[in-house]
Structure 1
Amino acid sequence: MLEGGSSKELPPFYVINLMVYLMLKVGVLIKQIMIMRIPLLLFLAASLSYCTSEQQSIDPIEQKVDELMSKMTLVEKIGQTAQRGTSSRVKGELSEDLKNAVREGRIGSLINVMNKEFVDELQRIAVEESPNGIPLIFARDVIHGFKTIFPIPLGQAATWNPALVEEGARIAAVEASTYGVRWTFAPMLDIARDPRWGRIAESPGEDPYLASELSAAYVRGFQGNNLTDPTSMIACAKHFVGYGAAEGGRDYNTAVIHESLLRNIYLPPFEKAVDAGVQTFMSGFNELNGVPVSGNQFLLDQVLRQEWGFDGFVVSDWNSVTEMIAHGYCVDEKDAAFKAARAGVDMEMTSQSYDNYLQELIDEGQLDIQQLDRMVRAILRVKLRMGLFDQPYRVDNEELILSESHLKKAKTAAAQSMVLLKNEKKLLPLKPKQKIAVIGPMANAPLDQLGTWIFDGDKDDSMTPIASLQERLGANIQYVQGLTYSRDQSKAQFARAIKAAQQSDLVLFFGGEEAILSGEAHSRAHINLPGAQEELIKEIKKKTGKPIVLIIQAGRPIVLENIIGDVDAILMAWHLGTMAGPAITEVLVGDINPSGRLPISWPKSVGQIPIYYNHKNTGRPARAESFVGIEDIPIGAWQSSLGNDSHYLDDGFEPLYPFGYGLSYTRFEYAGLTISADTLNEREELKVNFELSNTGETDGVEVVQLYIRDYFGSITRPIKELKKFERISLKAKEKKTLEFTIDKSDLQFYNANNELVLESGLFSVFVGGDAQTTMKQDFWIE
């Protein structure tokens, strides 16, 4: 029985039908007895066994779906495919039109209804007054917390801690369900290789393996152990698929991804969500290879349903069905409704082409009624799994919202999200009794620290860095904002900021970008610190010479090429959520040793984008020993490409900081890498052993990473692929022997025929602290 299935007795209608069905089956067997002279006792035993197995195989959820479908009119069926709502909270009184639509069974789900009384009333109408009492699903974008806000998803990816991500999602579900929200449009699983894209803030980063592990964690956290639990919130894997590969990092745009690349890089996190039991998918805004994904049969039918066996339902993105007209794929709304339904979009978010045209399409014979039935069955199946027919009403857990335990977990997530990128002269952790100037627009930005896509977060609940630092360090802190917000161009406070720096031993500069500068439809062509932040940093350095610690709060990696030489330490703090202040303070003073690692390569400049670690080798791979820089070219040099490799003359071929990178207040060393065999077949496992030592004076956590390289293939393979990772805690001077196991699934890939294969040849296994690790052992697959 599926999780959340009913255990009630079968209704009389089904008992009668079951008896008739079994009698017919028995009749067939009797006929065969007469023909084949099967012994009577054998027949009776077989009949009893058959009847028992038939009875056991009947799924109560599917029975209830059948029962409902047999009673529903065409209008009611179409109604289940409609999600209504607004882009913000429903205000004022509930309209009679909305209540009547629910009463008539013409709405299946509502989005952004956040008044508890409205939720209760609309659900009551659906259950008590609609023709078949089918409950509504109330939905909301609960992306990285509800009231207790956790770090943005890209920040959570930097924890490399799926268990912590799962706990954050569970807390979000408990809080949101108090308001009746039982469906979230998360997790976003788009692989992102372009930090100009505003929605990279919601992404798990650039790597399919890390993204897949986080995908399953989010699904488990949101949905919980039992879908019928009133605090369970069904998850939605989005945006299916390729949205993160849109041209130029621009929203709503074109993605071109050949199928083997799609299967090797972009699809794995979504398949992992299916394996974890995700109940819904969302089709994206983008087009993929010329077809908008909300009308893409290959993705929504062949891959999702036929290959992966997904039996939940697919919802469109906001108006993405009718936006296929602007894409140039559909003539009008009727055509859009036809192509979306044919492709496999079961529920239409906010636009109303299904409501307006599905009946007409069916009446005209363009759309088969069986297709609509399949759509509606999928929606009803999920509602039944959620237990909404038995418990349609919300359970109020108001006392848990922003509870001490929730805030504590949010602080832990914030602390583990931070990545120490630079720490010259061991400026961090801060020394006792230092006089510190706190400067910058993000030190006291309670709304912006919450990050993008936090409809229900309240800035008044935020604990800011300056408040936490002043509480912890008191009179040693001198605070001058310098700039009032991240885009501020005014120099009015420069003189005060410089004076504060002169009177201090060290400057903590809180820079970055406001939350509104990342997220949906907020792509940036230039991703350096906005406003006059760079200029203020340079002025402080030039006129005071004091060491500067740059704390970046942003929704993406920030290009630092103009100021990298002016700052002495860099802590990437993303947008950390409600508990940003205490978490940052505890990392700065050394109570917490930073353990975050980059989930995306950090570019030196915008000109390097896209830059990602798992790229191909090319025919002339770039190498440090043969790199020719722009200043290395003699004046009047003969025009020739000989000796040059695949690189930029001015920015080289490596990122500023590689994927998986992050510093600590201690030192970790790897040694003694061994493997269990030099040659093995596809059925054998490979054991990888090595030693990890904490050689410093401070306890710490290292994120151990294992990469594989497949040197030769029927299609070219990446230079490295992450296959395993683990967070390892070591006390000062402690050493551990660690082991990873590699099997066939870690070495397979989709070839040019889109077949999952393991090809013989030479491989290397790498172990280390980031994607640029060189410690390796070679092995062969026969």
Structure 2
Amino acid sequence: MAVLRFSIAIFISALVLPVTSVMAQTAPSDEERVEDLLSQMTLKEKVGQVSQFTGFWDVTGPAPTDETQARKAELLKSGIIGSMLNVVGVEEVRPIQEYALNSRLGIPVIFGLDVVHGHKTMFPIPLAEAASWDLDMIEQSARVSAIEAAAQGQTWTFAPMVDISRDPRWGRVMEGAGEDPYLGSRIAVARIRGFQGDDLSAPDTIVATLKHFAGYGFAESGKDYNTVDVGTVTLHNVILPPFKAGVEEADARTVMNGFNTLNGLPVTGDGYLQRELLKGEWGFDGFVVSDWASAREMIDHGYAKDPEDAALKAMEAGSDMDMESYVYLDHLEDLVEAGTLDVALLDDAVRRILRVKFELGLFDDPYKYLDADREAELLLSPAHREASLKMAERSIVLLKNDDDTLPIRKGEKIALIGTLAADKDSPLGNWRAMADDHSAVSVVEAFEAAGLDFVYAEGAVLEIGDAAFPNEVVVNLTDRSGFPEAVEAARNADKVIIVLGEDGLQSGEGRSRSELGFPGVQQELLEAVYEANPETVLVVMSGRPLVLTWAEAHVPAIVQAWHLGQESGHALTNVLTGAYNPSGKLPMTFPRSVGQIPIYYSHLNTGRPGPLTDVFWSHYIDESNAPLWPFGYGLSYTTFEYSNLRARKRGDVVEVSVRVKNTGSRAGEEVVQLYIRDIAASVSRPVRELKDFSKIELAPGKRMTLTFELGAEDLGFYNANGSYVVEPGDFEIFVGGSSDATLSTSFEY
């Protein structure tokens, strides 16, 4: 009987395998399914797919009117809505998806949300994560955020923001990776891979969005939503590389345009950026979404005469989905029927949106993101909080540590001062809508948990009064009543830890600043405390580089702590006590004064770089040209020595090797950074450009030889015509622990 069963099994297999093979060959592909569905859609249904609406509470835009809410309700009942944002949680998402699936064609909705630096478990702000220079950790941070967001029904995040910016007055520097296009590109790829994973159809991945395309970070005077005016060399060499890397290396499935104009043209209506470059030259086959009402804002820019004109110009330029301005919903149908808009452009937009929905697997299982058990299990899980802690530790930058003031020594009596030391909200950062209020671990709580001998004094409140608008911070400018207690605590302590900086809502969208000192009376508090006890450690919580010139000249130790997320207090305590040896490096230059801005390491040399003996060279008469701390800078509790730098040309590749030794008494991590300078080219090149880096860990006394390879893609550049060129010539190489690296060699290519 065993032989008979075996023979039957072979016979059945012989029958089944060919049938399976034929089925696999004849099953329609996603592209075929897209085209079939598109052919069945009415004009109204197509317009529904390219229109996106917020839920019944708004985050980044103006508060909705009752009329608007009623209209949204009717649109939901019609079942033709293509996308919604700010609808979160299985209980909220499911009924909307059910409305869509009960429509004529049953096209599922894609749900978007700003998952910027965490979801329920908050991670450090992106600028802080960039300071880690740890690409694996950054990818893991995005992975955890995606897992939590997907568990609450989200299929799409409006992140990462990859805008390069050289101006810390701009509040949204907290949301990006800083000033450098190479570092920004590597981080963009890491975050997209974290969000999208290896399989976009898995129930724990979400679609990533590259934003804002393009130039938003170069807003004049650092003022949000402001004009951008840059040359083609800057556009192609500085602004565009992270977008290109995100599309070509990480396959980001959506791109968001922006609020700004670029050289006089609103980017939402810029056909060169969206159609020629992104969808043409780069081959992007996902879809472009506008920023919040940016299509309608083209009227205010003076580019569109009315909402109908705005709809026409945005669609013709390649903006596929309109977020919350209603110009597509109100006018595309009429424009197509009148023959003013080619229906092929609308079809292309719908096709791109449907493609991403198929890639997410929503047509096969539209409810796969809606699992209440998974939602309850994954949010704020211990594993996610541990990942947040590790990311936060690596994001902290030690800026100054004279006479080994840090780490805190056993038995020292500490005065812990500053309202931010007890704050359980500000460390959560700006984009924290999904986090529980007061859920961050404060420094006070972490000090208590670590068993440190300390006394806490508030010193001065940062925020007072009732704000005129939600999420606005009203700063204390007059109340110094807590100064005496803080000064007394400092006087009686062995060491002072004073935590100053910005409220978590003083940086971010719409929060540009004209001055970059400590808000309110905090600087006065710092000076009073320092006078009482010079053994002072300054911990700076902020969403941007601040001007810390006085502190650098006086305070012996300074720690840049950013806004570190859920486990902020524990991460800071681990660094201050030496349980974790700081390894962060600055992703943005710190200025000495606001007057130096924009200040960045990769500047051009000018024709009169100086210094000269007279005044006729490029400088200030009242300030140094040098930054307070340069890009790539950061100290450790140990020291590193660089030597044996060599460059060898092997065919088309330049092989660069360098030896790094831990010369201190502690194990530590170092970010080894490689910069080049093109000595003479057809376009003036920066004095230095970051081209590679590696984060290593060395035990005391140990050394390592690192090898980097530079190819033509690393040595070329975009010229004024936007063409990439590689020119022969002489190059310098600099390797070290910051952009001020002095170890150098040269080669001819």
Q: Would you say same fold, with TM above 0.5?
A: yes
- 1:58: Cα distance to partner? 9.3
- 1:99: Cα distance to partner? 5.0
- 1:473: Cα distance to partner? 3.0
Query: For this pair of structures, how many residues does the alignment match?
Result: 705
- 1:562: Cα distance to partner? 3.4
- 1:82: Cα distance to partner? 0.8
Asked if structure 2 preserves the Cα contact closer than 8 Å seen for 1:158 and 1:419, the reply is yes
> Equivalent residue for 1:470?
448
1:383 aligns with 2:357: yes
One-letter amino acid of the counterpart of residue 620, structure 1? R
- 1:712: Cα distance to partner? 0.7
Q: Aligned Cα RMSD in Å?
A: 1.9
Q: Give the counterpart of 1:435 among 385, 389, 413.
A: 413
> Equivalent residue for 1:409?
387
Q: Mind listing any 5+ residue stretches in structure 1 that lack a counterpart?
A: 1-51, 629-641
Q: How far apart in 2 are the matches of 1:728 and 1:161?
A: 10
1:586 aligns with 2:574: yes
One-letter amino acid of the counterpart of residue 359, structure 1? E
Asked if structure 1 preserves the Cα contact closer than 8 Å seen for 2:266 and 2:301, the reply is yes
Structure 1 pair 753–115 and aligned structure 2 pair: CA distance change class (3 A): closer
- 1:649-668 paired onto structure 2 within 5 Å: 649-668=621-640
Asked if structure 1 preserves the Cα contact closer than 8 Å seen for 2:80 and 2:100, the reply is no
> Equivalent residue for 1:199?
172
Asked if structure 2 preserves the Cα contact closer than 8 Å seen for 1:99 and 1:125, the reply is no
Give the TM-score normalised by structure 1. Answer: 0.88
Q: Give the counterpart of 1:88 among 58, 61, 70.
A: 58
> Equivalent residue for 1:45?
none
- 1:688: Cα distance to partner? 0.8
> Equivalent residue for 1:692?
660
Q: Give the counterpart of 1:508 among 494, 497, 516.
A: 497
- 1:580: Cα distance to partner? 0.3
1:420 aligns with 2:398: yes
Q: How far apart in 1 are the matches of 2:552 and 2:128?
A: 22
Asked if structure 1 preserves the Cα contact closer than 8 Å seen for 2:265 and 2:303, the reply is yes
Q: How far apart in 1 are the matches of 2:70 and 2:741?
A: 64
> Equivalent residue for 1:63?
32
1:107 aligns with 2:81: yes
Structure 1 pair 95–238 and aligned structure 2 pair: CA distance change class (3 A): closer
Q: How far apart in 2 are the matches of 1:752 and 1:313?
A: 28
Q: Which moved more, 1:144-153 or 1:482-491?
A: 482-491
Structure 1 pair 622–575 and aligned structure 2 pair: CA distance change class (3 A): farther
One-letter amino acid of the counterpart of residue 72, structure 1? M
Q: How far apart in 2 are the matches of 1:248 and 1:306?
A: 33
Q: How far apart in 1 are the matches of 2:26 and 2:271?
A: 31
> Equivalent residue for 1:34?
none
> Equivalent residue for 2:513?
524
Q: How far apart in 1 are the matches of 2:27 and 2:608?
A: 61
1:281 aligns with 2:255: yes
Secondary structure of 1:676's match?
Answer: strand
Asked if structure 1 preserves the Cα contact closer than 8 Å seen for 2:440 and 2:565, the reply is yes
One-letter amino acid of the counterpart of residue 320, structure 1? S
Q: How far apart in 2 are the matches of 1:408 and 1:395?
A: 25
1:300 aligns with 2:274: yes
> Equivalent residue for 2:6?
none
- 1:760: Cα distance to partner? 1.2
Q: Deviations over 1:27-46 (max 9, x none)?
A: xxxxxxxxxxxxxxxxxxxx
One-letter amino acid of the counterpart of residue 317, structure 1? D
Q: Give the counterpart of 1:558 among 546, 549, 568.
A: 546
> Equivalent residue for 2:299?
325
- 1:604-683 paired onto structure 2 within 5 Å: 604-623=592-611, 626=612, 642=614, 644-677=616-649
- 1:176: Cα distance to partner? 0.9
Secondary structure of 1:563's match?
Answer: helix
- 1:59: Cα distance to partner? 6.6
Q: How far apart in 2 are the matches of 1:59 and 1:342?
A: 30
Q: Give the counterpart of 1:534 among 494, 503, 523.
A: 523
- 1:52-201 paired onto structure 2 within 5 Å: 60-86=29-55, 87-88=57-58, 98=72, 100-127=74-101, 129-201=102-174
Q: How far apart in 2 are the matches of 1:175 and 1:622?
A: 53
> Equivalent residue for 1:597?
585
Larger Rg: 1
Q: Deviations over 1:632-670 (max 9, x none)?
A: xxxxxxxxxx46421112221110000000000000000
Secondary structure of 1:564's match?
Answer: helix
- 1:564: Cα distance to partner? 2.9
One-letter amino acid of the counterpart of residue 73, structure 1? T
> Equivalent residue for 2:18?
none
One-letter amino acid of the counterpart of residue 696, structure 1? G
Give the TM-score normalised by structure 2. Answer: 0.92
Q: Deviations over 1:540-582 (max 9, x none)?
A: 222x233110000100011012333331110000000000000
> Equivalent residue for 2:694?
726
Q: Give the counterpart of 1:768 among 715, 722, 736.
A: 736
Q: Deviations over 1:159-191 (max 9, x none)?
A: 001111110101011111111111100000000
Identity between Structure 1 and Structure 2 (%)? 45
Q: How far apart in 2 are the matches of 1:643 and 1:774?
A: 27
Q: How far apart in 2 are the matches of 1:369 and 1:333?
A: 19
**Structure 1 ranges of 4+ moved more than 3 A:** 55-59, 86-92, 94-100
Q: How far apart in 2 are the matches of 1:298 and 1:98?
A: 33
- 1:103: Cα distance to partner? 4.3
Q: Deviations over 1:12-38 (max 9, x none)?
A: xxxxxxxxxxxxxxxxxxxxxxxxxxx
One-letter amino acid of the counterpart of residue 456, structure 2? Y
Q: Which moved more, 1:477-486 or 1:141-150?
A: 477-486
- 1:460: Cα distance to partner? 3.4
- 1:743-782 paired onto structure 2 within 5 Å: 743-781=711-749
Q: How far apart in 1 are the matches of 2:172 and 2:328?
A: 28
- 1:105: Cα distance to partner? 3.9
Q: Deviations over 1:388-438 (max 9, x none)?
A: 001111243221211111111100100000000001111100111001000
Asked if structure 2 preserves the Cα contact closer than 8 Å seen for 1:102 and 1:130, the reply is no
> Equivalent residue for 1:633?
none
One-letter amino acid of the counterpart of residue 485, structure 1? L
Q: How far apart in 1 are the matches of 2:577 and 2:437?
A: 25
Structure 1 pair 179–427 and aligned structure 2 pair: CA distance change class (3 A): same
Q: How far apart in 1 are the matches of 2:506 and 2:298?
A: 27
